Amino acid sequence: MKTMTCSQLGGACDKAFSANTFEEIAEQSKQHGMEMFKSQDAAHLDAMQKMQSLMKDPAAMGAWYESRKAEFESLPED
């Protein structure tokens, strides 16, 4: 298992997620983001807005995703 925080994954807090693959950890971060969206957490809404503008540019989004994934791969196992 490897651990990354919400903020490392484009979020806004230090909540830690653990998973064996980047896809899993990205999914956990997404679920957490949706909960924060429901509770209208200002810091997360702001982070989400930045992600959404990134998503309008598929090349930039792809580069962001790959760099997060590379960071995950380079982490030591827990």
Which residues here bind Zn ion, judged by CB under 5 A? 6, 11, 13, 15
Nearest Cα neighbor of 72 from 47, 36, 10, 43 is 10
Nearer to Zn ion, 38 or 77 (CB): 38
Smallest gap from Cβ 7 to Zn ion, in A, equals 7
Element spanning 19, H or E? strand 16-19
Smallest gap from Cβ 18 to Zn ion, in A, equals 15
Residue nearest to Zn ion (CB): 6
Smallest gap from Cβ 42 to Zn ion, in A, equals 12
CB count within 10 Å of CB 16 equals 13
